[in-house]
Amino acid sequence: MKPKELLNHYIENQLVAELQKLGFRYAKSVPKFSRTKGDFELTFSFSRSQWNAEDYCQFWTIWDVSSKKYSKWFKEQWGNKPVNNVIVCASEYNVPGWTREVYKQHFTLTNSESDIAEFNEFVHNVLNVGIPYYTHISDWNIAAEYASQEIIVFYDKVSDFYLISGQKEKAKEILELGIKEIERRKHDQYMLLPEIQKRLDKYFN
């Protein structure tokens, strides 16, 4: 069985119905699942290894939470849309509690009996680890807290989330922390300082 067909078979027979009960929509062409609650949309999409072959499919998922409200708020503040409306984003092995801790330990289907246990473990992770972890993002204060714990922290965005939640002092604190961190590293790889300064000038001067 071709890798794509093998993965789709298990997704459609073991996962779609379970997630539809939880309000998720399934896009087969990607494939991905998404669900909107309040201001936030939780999405996870599948990626397949380029080294897959007949009866062999190694795969992993990318998780993110995004918000159309953030784009709307940003445009109202700055007159243009943000680069993206992502709140947080992570590969599955960076989701706390995920059973495959190292990126090399991807789930693998081989069109054999072992696939049942393999995919059951994956489904367990989706239902009991990934979804509960990101479902906690239910307001903008929590969104800011999650974003501030990312591997790469975009201090300007975190500040925006605090501003949306009405916590102006926290918004200022995260901007000042961003400056200190960039100065400590002596490198502004993601060109955050200009964005940080824009917010300090607009909201705090």
Give the pLDDT score at 205.
86
Give the pLDDT score at 43.
98
Give the pLDDT score at 181.
96
Residues 95 and 194 in one domain: no
Lowest mean pLDDT among 27-36, 60-69, 93-102: 93-102
Q: What is the mean pLDDT of residues 122-146?
A: 98
Residues 31 and 68 in one domain: yes
Decide if pLDDT at 92 tops 90: yes
Give the pLDDT score at 15.
98
Give the pLDDT score at 41.
98
| Domain end (from 90, 115, 135) | 135
Q: What is the mean pLDDT of residues 24-51?
A: 97
Q: How far apart are CA 77 and CA 98, in angstroms?
A: 37
Residues 19 and 78 in one domain: yes
Give the pLDDT score at 186.
92
What percent of the chain lies above the pLDDT cut of 90?
Answer: 97
Say how many Å lie between the first and final Cα of the chain, rounded.
63
Owner of token pair 């989330």: 161
Write the CA distances from 131 to 32, 84, 97, integer angstroms: 14, 22, 11
**CB-based contacts of 124: which residues, under 8 Å, 6+ apart?**
99
CB-based contact 95:122 (threshold 8 Å): no
Q: What is the mean pLDDT of residues 72-100?
A: 96
Q: What is the mean pLDDT of residues 179-185?
A: 95
Q: What is the mean pLDDT of residues 50-60?
A: 97
| Domain end (from 100, 135, 170) | 135
Name the average pLDDT for the chain: 96
Q: Copy the structure tokens of residue 98.
A: 């995920």
Decide if pLDDT at 128 tops 80: yes
Residues 69 and 155 in one domain: no
Write the CA distances from 24 to 47, 131, 154, 159, integer angstroms: 19, 11, 28, 30
Structural domains counted in the chain: 2
Residues 124 and 153 in one domain: no
Give the pLDDT score at 101.
82
Residues 49 and 116 in one domain: yes
Residues 127 and 156 in one domain: no
Domain that holds residue 153: 140-204
| Domain end (from 113, 135, 157) | 135
Residues 86 and 36 in one domain: yes
Residues 178 and 110 in one domain: no
Decide if pLDDT at 200 tops 80: yes
Residues 21 and 72 in one domain: yes
Residues 127 and 27 in one domain: yes
Decide if pLDDT at 102 tops 80: no
User: H helices of 86-138, where?
Assistant: 114-125, 131-135
Residues 13 and 44 in one domain: yes
